[in-house]
Amino acid sequence: MLKDGRKISAEVQSGVSLMEAALENNVHGIVGECGGSMSCATCHVVVDEAWMLATGSAGDLELSMLEATAVAPSPQSRLSCQIIAADSLDGLVLNVP
C-alpha cells in the first residue's frame, strides 16, 4: 500500500528482488538508487505484520542502512532490495512509508 492509500498488486517472478519489482511496477516512493547493493536505503518498505515471519528479519548491515532512511524505520521495516520473491511470499503485503 502506498502512503496515499492506493494499492498496487503485481505478479513477481521468483528470484526477483521486491525493489526491482517495485520499479517495474512504478511504485512511487521506491527509488532503488544503488541498484540493490544495500548502500542507499531508498527502497524502504514496511512489511505487513502478518508477513514478518515469512520475510525474515533484517541483518546487521540492513539494519544500519535502515537508520539512514528518509522516514524513521519501524520494527517491520526492511530494504525491499533484500527481499527476494519466492512462492512462500505469495500474497505478501508491503507498505511504502
| Contact set with ligand FES (CB under 6 A) | 19, 32-34, 36, 38-43, 65, 79, 81
Find where cell 521506491 sits.
Answer: 30
**CA-only gyration radius of the chain, Å:** 12
Sign of the torsion angle spanned by Cα atoms 19, 66, 64, 33: positive
* Amino acid residing at 77: S
Q: How far is the CB of 71 from ligand FES (least distance, A)?
A: 14
Nearer to ligand FES, 33 or 49 (CB): 33
- Rounded to the nearest whole angstrom, what is the least distance from the CB of residue 91 to ligand FES in the complex? 22
Choice between 5 and 92, CB closer to ligand FES: 92
Rounded CA separation 46/16 (Å): 18
Q: What minimum distance in Å lies between the beta carbon of 19 and ligand FES? A: 5
Ordered strands of the 94-95 beta sheet:
77-79, 44-47, 94-95
In the complex with ligand FES, which residue's Cβ is closer, 21 or 43?
43
